A = this chain, B = another copy of it.
Amino acid sequence: MSSKNQSREKILEAATQLFHLQGYHATGLSQILKVSGAPKGSLYYHFPEGKEQLALEAIERFGSIVSAEIRKHLNEVDDPIEAYEKHILHISRKFEDVSTLPNNSETLPIGLLAAETALVNENLRIKCEGVFNDWDSIHKEKIMASGFSDEQAQSISITINALIEGGITLCLTTKSNKPLLEIIKMIPLLFTK
């Protein structure tokens, strides 16, 4: 990897983490630079359009990482109930010790960024919408593979998406993994035929 891309990479990585932990508005470019350890003069060289470009790329990267993780979890088990229980359990582990959260940023959601920018920045909103749609497709495919109709799969899929996003918000707020653990108990009911 060229040295150009090394700096770019470090900045983008720090931005991805900070944006989705603290949000878009609470995260300053100076903080991103500091955390990344990248050369201080290089930000606008690599990201000529500044903060918004950085956020757009961060959302995209974040979406792909999570997509991959969702796919991985869902492929491990055939039964969708068991698969989603494991998936959500995996997410909930990140809230067992909230103090380590900042190092654990792989699979958190984009709910914060999405809600924060939805009414304020149309470009970012559309990016977030795209990410949600990607996740939704993955869920839908999995659910339909176990015999649910297109329409049923749609409802279940959106519901699971909302449950995860909302559950994470509750975990963050209560500094506990209990909300997601409670949600897991309800998963089987969603797949009632």
Contact = CB atoms under 8 A, between A and B. Distances in A.
Interface stretch (A2-10, A65-73, A153-161): A153-161
Number of copies: 2
Given A128-B173, A163-B162, A116 B120 contact: no
Contact of A163 (B21, B22, B132, B166): B166
A35 B172 CA distance: 31
B163 A170 contact: no
Given A115-B23, A115-B115, A162 B174 contact: no
Nearest to A121: B26
Nearest to A111: B169
B169 A183 contact: no
A182 B159 CA distance: 7
Interface residues of A, number: 48
Nearest to A130: B173
Interface stretch (A42-50, A78-86, A142-150, A185-193): A185-193
Given A166-B164, A173-B128, A189-B192, A26 B116 contact: yes
Interface in A90-124: 98, 101-102, 111-112, 114-116, 118-120
Contact of A174 (B26, B129, B173): B129
